[in-house]
Amino acid sequence: MTDSTDEESYLAALQIFGSMIMRQRHASQWSLYRLAEKSGVDETVISQLEAGEDAGTEVEREKLCDFLGIDLDTFPRVLRTYRTSLKALSAIEDQTGEMSNVVQLQGYRAKWQKITTHPED
């Protein structure tokens, strides 16, 4: 797997992890300030994590997971799952020679441009 794929996997896992933190916080009806106060993790770090940024330390992530009742292995598991999905997609692309989930719009555009007219000014 390439470095760009690893980076893409990591960023996607951060997004998913951040969404999980935000959902738990909203379900508890807590503000960022209140969660920071109760969990001992800085409000800025929580905000950045929720935004999918690579913020805080591993200890701070574990504190948040523990406090919100999220399994401590969540982030590594999400990362593994996403990497596995990317590997499977890459294998399909290698076998077929094309991307399986991307629509080739060029053909549609050419056809649309031939049948669509624009009013003259």
Note the pLDDT tens digit of each residue in 10-32.
788 888 889 989 999 999 999 99
Mean pLDDT to the nearest integer, 39-45: 94
The predicted pLDDT at position 116 comes to 53
Domain boundaries along the sequence of the chain: 3-98
Residue 105 confidence (pLDDT) above 70 = no
- Match 């800085």 to its residue by tokens: 42
Mean pLDDT to the nearest integer, 58-67: 89
The predicted pLDDT at position 32 comes to 92
Q: Sign of the CA dihedral 13, 18, 20, 21? A: positive
Mean pLDDT to the nearest integer, 28-47: 93
Mean pLDDT to the nearest integer, 103-117: 54
Instruction: Give the global pTM.
Output: 0.63
Amino acid found at 9: S
Other C-beta atoms closer than 10 Å to the C-beta of 34 total 13
Give the Cα separation of 101 and 113 in Å (integer): 24
State the architecture of 3-98 in CATH terms: Orthogonal Bundle (1.10)
